[in-house]
């Protein structure tokens, strides 16, 4: 099978022949992704900020935590601070790494670093024109109800809420 490569604004899609640990030669299509961050912004121990964001790829609004893709040569902590402010209009005095996930390891190299943010301060930022976002404050009990009713369907958000212990 012939190698293939497509370079987009954020991702590269590539095809290559790979030898698996069992010796089998597989033709693999995969997405090379620069990585991303996700932030759980705590207003207080029982309340967080969440987004209701329109996702054009699926043509629907999703409830999500703020997140975004790393820029070239940007470190993950700087990206977390930038994305929190861009998407919520808040800054955080303290950011703490909760963990990292591979959201789709079957076809992507993406790693998402998950942070929790504390001591929030409002600092309005101009909104990105290609993002349709509404910021909401939710108590822990409401988030759990939303999850159990299937209203939170974004995988990275579900992982982050699980890291925080908000889904039990």
For residue 168, being part of any structural domain is answered with no
For residue 55, being part of any structural domain is answered with yes
Give, in degrees to the nearest 5, the angle at Cα 105 between 103 and 9: 75
* Total domains, the chain: 2
Range of the domain at 145: 34-163
- Per-residue pLDDT reduced to its tens digit, 37-78: 999 999 999 999 999 999 999 999 999 999 999 999 999 999
What pLDDT band is residue 3 in, cutting at 50, 70 and 90?
confident
Task: Catalogue the E-assigned strands of 65-150.
Answer: 67-69, 90-101, 112-122, 133-139
4 plus 69 within the same structural domain? no
Any idea what DSSP says for residue 86?
H
13 plus 69 within the same structural domain? no
Instruction: Enter the pTM of the model.
Output: 0.92
39 plus 86 within the same structural domain? yes
């Amino acid at each position: 099978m012939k190698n293939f490569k497509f370079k987009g604004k954020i991702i590269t899609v590539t095809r290559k022949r790979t030898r698996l640990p069992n010796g089998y030669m597989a033709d693999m299509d995969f997405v090379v992704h620069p990585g991303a961050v996700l932030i759980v912004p705590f207003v207080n121990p029982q309340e967080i900020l969440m987004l209701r964001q329109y996702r054009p790829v699926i043509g629907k609004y999703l409830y999500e935590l703020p997140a975004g893709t790393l820029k070239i040569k940007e470190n993950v902590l700087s990206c977390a601070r930038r994305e929190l402010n861009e998407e919520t209009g808040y800054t955080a005095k303290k950011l703490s790494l909760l963990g990292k996930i591979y959201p789709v390891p079957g076809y992507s190299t993406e790693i998402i670093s998950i942070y929790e943010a504390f001591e929030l301060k409002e600092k309005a930022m101009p909104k990105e024109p290609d993002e349709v976002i509404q910021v909401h404050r939710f108590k822990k009990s409401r988030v759990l109800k939303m999850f159990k009713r299937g209203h939170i369907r974004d995988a990275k958000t579900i992982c982050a809420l699980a890291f925080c212990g908000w889904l039990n």
